[in-house]
Amino acid sequence: MTLRKLPDNIVNQIAAGEVVERPASAVKELVENAIDAGADRIDVLMRTGGRSLISIKDNGKGMTPEELELCFERHATSKLPDEDLVNIQHLGFRGEAIPSIASVSRMSITTRTADADNAWKLSVEGGRKGSVEPAAMSTGTHVEVRDIFYATPARLKFLKSERAEFGAALDVIRRLAMAYPSIAFSLSDEKRTALKVSAAQGDLFEAWLDRLGAIMGREFSENALKIDAERNGVVLTGYAGVPTFNRGNANMQFMFVNGRPVKDKTFTGAIRAAYMDLLARNRHALLALFLELPPDQVDVNVHPAKAEVRFRDSAGVRGLIIGALRNALAANGHRASSTVGHQALGAFRTENNPAFEQLNLQSRPSRPVGMGNWAEVRPNSNTQSHLAEETSAYQAPLSPAQNTEPMAPSARDYGAEQSAQASEGDFQTYPLGAARGQLHETYIVAQTKNGMVLVDQHAAHERLVMERMKKAYSQRSVGRQMLLLPDVIEIDEAAAERVCERAEELAEMGLVIEPFGPGAIVVRETPALLGTCNVKGLIQDLADDLAEFDTALALKDRLDDVFATMACHGSVRAGRRLSIDEMNALLREMEVTPHSGQCNHGRPTYVELQLSDIEKLFGRR
């Protein structure tokens, strides 16, 4: 066997295996080149998922004929003027993309600089380069990639369906469009335009929010919190969704480092930690975060696809992300997602409610009082005429005589109680309004200035208790209440040992326990904030939680989990009758408590319905 140097075309094809995995990879590399060239408009066209054609046009600075010929050579780049891999200022810098793509496809580039008399075009087929020829084109660059992987047919077998490949390219363009709101992007195939966003104007944060709303959906911009933090020269900006606006997967979590879309475990772990006690375990927040830091503090030269980065101070970056997100979420107060109300209204709508599937209230007459099932009604012209008269009479204003008819006792008493407990201006003053009643001893009904609020009393109080306990713990002032008769709890022996091993830490949190023989624990004091609670259920749940924790972790590292478990057992339970004063007190505390828009398990604590939406339900609008 003789050692020899591989031909350039084989070297390029090997490099293409790393840089160009699929059509979307080619799109990413070429669009990043357009961004580096200063373009403010980039249009992408794909046919058959990119197999037959990828066309990318930009209005950047273009290339001279000499640069055009040189760009097809391996490692030819204008983006490392000082040959310093530590100080990378552009998205591209390797000089591998164009020769790699050209080695496995039929590729042509037409380009023109602003001061040139005409454009120039160069074509390469399977790595075999043609000659530079004059062409007609305005300032910018137009790249066409045809029959990708025709020179390496084995790679074609690994491509997915046309729809999947186009979807992957769409994801690439979306991410780049988020990072660069000042650039207009479009992506289309032969049949439709999948993405078209215009260049945003004005303040950077406003531009970002407009662009994120266009890509992630209008609901995101309605439920997003502004993130703006800085620490030791590292700046974190962007937007994060409120906890109750979430998804079942992490596909709507976007991270960028110095304008580069990345996927990094540091981000993923930090986001999970920031939302730890605000989301259910199987739900994920929506957000777009932009990290800016000196180039020498991050290594982007980790992988040919440049999708991974390494931070010099990863702990500092993680701390910045967690702190910024938690501060924004705490400042959010009691606010919940607007989609919670929309979902509630959707449940009312007849088209989504099986109970109304057989009814069409616009085409059927109103059901007269005392009639049987709808199947018994046989509408005819006389019936409809009669019902129309009845409806008209029902909707007419009451006469003075009718208006003096006394209310039913329950309605009269209710009105008197409200006038005594809440002034007319209460619901206009407070964001969560004034309490008007309680449904099924579980839900509080409050009237606001522009609608109504429905509160889950147990979920809301659970969050309030947890936040009180966290605050007391941080101030080293967790109050305890001694049990008149200590409770002896019998549980599994292994579970009892786990809990007793943490007795000292639990005592700092207000729970005083001692071992009481094999498989038994005696509880002497409980946190005062819990009031009367189910002590046995609390100990059992704590034992279950400890079984899931890392045994090397101190409880203070899982503080939110422990307090969430305790709060659940010390909150107002569903089924308890509350007075109006108690309801209003709960509403007022929610308004000043961070994170009170969602319970400790990530579910919403209240639903707000606007008066205009309620009126639509009854056909008033």
pTM of full prediction above 0.85: no
Return the half-sphere exposure (C-beta side, CA atoms, 13 A cut-off) of residue 438.
19
Reported as a single tens digit per residue, the pLDDT across 306-346 is: 667 888 888 899 999 999 998 998 888 766 666 666 666 66
Residue 340 falls inside a structural domain: no
Burial 370-386 (b: 16+ CB within 10 A, else e): eeeeeeeeeeeeeeeee
Co-location of 154 and 215 in the same domain? no
Range of the domain at 323: 204-331
Please, are residues 514 and 506 in contact by the beta-carbon 8 Å criterion?
Answer: no
Co-location of 504 and 562 in the same domain? yes
Measured CA distances, 89 to 92, 149, 187, 256, 292 (Å): 9, 31, 26, 14, 12
Q: How far apart are CA 437 and CA 559, in angstroms?
A: 35
Tokens standing for 265? 């475990």
Residue 367 falls inside a structural domain: no
Please, are residues 245 and 219 in contact by the beta-carbon 8 Å criterion?
Answer: yes
Assign residue 326 the CATH number of its domain: 3.30.230.10
Q: How far apart are CA 177 and CA 183, in angstroms?
A: 7
Which residue, chain included where needed, has tokens 């624990």?
A: 521
Assign residue 616 the CATH number of its domain: 3.30.1540.20
Beta strands in 6-48 (DSSP E): 41-47
Helix (H) or strand (E) holding 90, with range, is none
Co-location of 209 and 175 in the same domain? no
Please, are residues 472 and 478 in contact by the beta-carbon 8 Å criterion?
Answer: yes
Return all residues near 228 (Cβ < 8 A) that are at least 6 apart: 205, 236, 237, 324
Q: Please give the tally of structural domains in the chain.
A: 3
Helix (H) or strand (E) holding 199, with range, is none
Co-location of 461 and 325 in the same domain? no
Co-location of 288 and 232 in the same domain? yes
Residue 3 falls inside a structural domain: no
Tokens standing for 150? 């025709």
Q: How far apart are CA 422 and CA 445, in angstroms?
A: 13
In the prediction, which pLDDT does 219 show?
A: 87
Tokens standing for 119? 């454009």
Co-location of 245 and 301 in the same domain? yes
Reported as a single tens digit per residue, the pLDDT across 248-301 is: 888 899 999 988 888 878 888 899 888 887 887 778 899 999 999 988 888 776
Return all residues near 396 (Cβ < 8 A) that are at least 6 apart: none
In the prediction, which pLDDT does 391 show?
A: 35
Co-location of 557 and 582 in the same domain? yes
Co-location of 185 and 221 in the same domain? no
In the prediction, which pLDDT does 408 show?
A: 32
State which residues of the chain have pLDDT below 70: 1-19, 75-90, 92-95, 301-307, 334-428, 549-561, 570-574
In the prediction, which pLDDT does 362 show?
A: 43
Co-location of 237 and 264 in the same domain? yes
In the prediction, which pLDDT does 4 show?
A: 66
Q: How far apart are CA 72 and CA 51, in angstroms?
A: 21
Residue 581 falls inside a structural domain: yes
In the prediction, which pLDDT does 422 show?
A: 47
Residue 345 falls inside a structural domain: no
Assign residue 68 the CATH number of its domain: 3.30.565.10
Tokens standing for 556? 């203070």
Residue that terminates a domain, selected from 291, 312, 331: 331
DSSP symbol at 334: T
In the prediction, which pLDDT does 368 show?
A: 40
Please, are residues 254 and 443 in contact by the beta-carbon 8 Å criterion?
Answer: no
Co-location of 612 and 491 in the same domain? yes
Q: How many CB atoms lie within 10 A of CB 451?
A: 18
Q: How far apart are CA 389 and CA 407, in angstroms?
A: 25
Residue 403 falls inside a structural domain: no
Q: How far apart are CA 25 and CA 28, in angstroms?
A: 5
DSSP 399-452: PHHHHTSPPPHHHHHHHHHHHHHS-TTHHHHSTT-EEEEEETTTEEEEEETTEE
Query: C-alpha angle 389/393/396, rounded to 5°?
Result: 140
Residue that terminates a domain, selected from 151, 168, 197: 197
Residue 49 falls inside a structural domain: yes
Co-location of 213 and 141 in the same domain? no
Tokens standing for 476? 């080293």
Please, are residues 26 and 101 in contact by the beta-carbon 8 Å criterion?
Answer: yes
DSSP symbol at 372: -
Which residue, chain included where needed, has tokens 């009845």?
A: 390
Co-location of 130 and 219 in the same domain? no
Using alpha carbons, select from 234, 207, 198 the residue that is nearest to residue 288: 207
Query: C-alpha angle 159/217/23, rounded to 5°?
Result: 15
Residue 377 falls inside a structural domain: no
Residue that terminates a domain, selected from 147, 182, 197: 197
Q: How far is CA 300 from the centre of its chain?
A: 26
